Amino acid sequence: MLKRLYDWALRLASSRHAGVALFLVAFGESFILPVPPDAVLAPMVLARPDRAWRNTALCVLGSVLGGVVGYYIGFALEPVAHWILIHSGHAAAEGEIHAAFAKYGVIVILAAVAPLIPFPVITLSSGLAHFSFWPFIVVAAAARTVRFAAVTAIVRRVGPAVLMMMERRLALVAGCVVVLGLVVLVATRLHHR
């Protein structure tokens, strides 16, 4: 599956609909899609370096607007938000995120910089927790801008070497990301006990 997703992202990166597709992936990933926009953004930066920052801006805009939808679903459509969290395998995270909002507030939203907590969990939980809307938007926009700008800067700096490394070690890279996420999740649970 990873290889198919990777190949699809490479094909998409060179199509004339790349910008629209990137926007839609970033938008959908903010509240329901399991495809991280980074997986589409990175090949697009490699395929069209002249549009790298334009595509980064599209990615941020789509992500933040999708975040608004996720927030709204959590805020006004609680059963739908619960259903999404359950069916995406993040039902257990909801209680932890609520507790984290009560204790840390806006810092939870800053977690959107790193892929450790899925952004849909943050957006839906922000709405479910009735977190203040404008601080949510400002911090989410800042966090997503930092994340996608970092992806763009790294890919531009390293260039095609990233592509070759990803092709050779796709399963290893994905495995490391999953293991890192699990370690953070376990550490967080142990810390809250």
pLDDT band for 65, please (50, 70, 90 cuts). very high
Residue 9 pLDDT: 67
114-154 pLDDT, tens digit per residue, is 666 788 888 888 898 888 899 889 988 998 998 899 889 98
- Computed from CA positions of residues 80, 125, 179, 142, in that sequence, does the dihedral angle turn out positive or negative? positive
Share of the chain above pLDDT 70, in %: 72
Average pLDDT over all residues of the chain = 78
Query: Residue 34 above 80 pLDDT?
Result: no
The answer to whether the beta carbons of residues 92 and 102 sit under 8 Å apart is no
d(CA 184, CA 139): 22
Residue that wins the pLDDT comparison between 172 and 85 = 85
45-58 pLDDT, tens digit per residue, is 887 888 889 999 99
Residue 163 pLDDT: 57
Q: In this structure, what token pair is assigned to residue 171?
A: 């399963």
The segment with the largest mean pLDDT, out of 61-65, 122-126, 149-153, 171-175, is 61-65
Query: Residue 68 above 90 pLDDT?
Result: yes
DSSP label at residue 51: G
Residue that wins the pLDDT comparison between 99 and 51 = 51
The answer to whether the beta carbons of residues 100 and 89 sit under 8 Å apart is no
Give SS3 for 31.
coil
Q: In this structure, what token pair is assigned to residue 28?
A: 């959908």
For every residue of 125-192, DSSP letters joined together read: HHHHTT--HHHHHHHHHHHHHHHHHHHHHHHHHHTHHHHHHHHHSHHHHHHHHHHHHHHHHHHHHHHH
Q: Tell me how crowded residue 152 is: count the other CB atoms within 10 A of its CB.
A: 22
